[in-house]
Amino acid sequence: MSTLKRASALILYRLRPHLELFLVRRSEHLRAFPGQWTFPGGHLDAADQDAVSAAYTDLPLATERQTALRELFEETGYRAQQWAKAGVLHPVISYSTEFIEVWFAKDLSLGERKLDEGEFLEVFLQTPESLQQDCLNGKVTDAKTLTGMFWLQNVLQGNHALEWLRAP
């Protein structure tokens, strides 16, 4: 079997006074899926340890959680005080070796975004009900966002308990 490609995705939310979800819209100038709405996320890379250490504290090895931490502040500018792993997604098991850990993050504080050069993402808020409609009507087709919505629905309905961790 080939090497697994590791990645993370985030379901960010806050209560103000109603539950709001953070999503990003991909740049219209990208070749793949321009303008697509998605939960923030990305692939694990060697720089994750340094990037996360600069924003949080040292963690021993590059992990999917570190990737989630990095993507959170790079793409949205937010830091989270609490984290919970929802599960793992294998997007297309027939030909892809990628797996994506899906994380929940809350107790957010805003800082400065650190987008990759040439990257443009619009951050916006959406209610769970509105996101669910966008998933059902085909406006959202991203696998990690559709899967994240599944976990979110189950968390909100009390069918899936999350084990919350404090920020490192």
Distance CA 156, CA 117 (A): 36
Residue 168 lies in a domain: no
The set of residues, in sequence order, having a beta carbon less than 8 Å from that of 162 and lying 6+ positions away, is 84, 85, 86, 104, 155
Distance CA 12, CA 155 (A): 13
Average pLDDT over residues 95-111: 87
Range of the domain at 134: 5-163
Q: What digits encode the pLDDT tens for the residues 30-67?
A: 787 888 888 888 777 666 445 544 544 444 445 777 77
Domain count, the chain: 1
Q: CB–CB of 74/112 below 8 Å? A: no
Indicate the pairing of strand 5-15 with strand 98-110: parallel
Q: What digits encode the pLDDT tens for the residues 84-96?
A: 989 888 888 888 8
Which ranges constitute the DSSP H helices of 12-115? 48-55, 64-75
Active centre residues (catalytic):
117
Distance CA 25, CA 154 (A): 24
Q: CB–CB of 98/147 below 8 Å? A: no
Residue 19 lies in a domain: yes
CATH number at residue 19: 3.90.79.10
Residue 89 lies in a domain: yes
Q: CB–CB of 145/39 below 8 Å? A: yes
**pTM of the complete model:** 0.80
The neighbouring-strand residues paired with 123 are 24
| Amino acid present at 149 | M
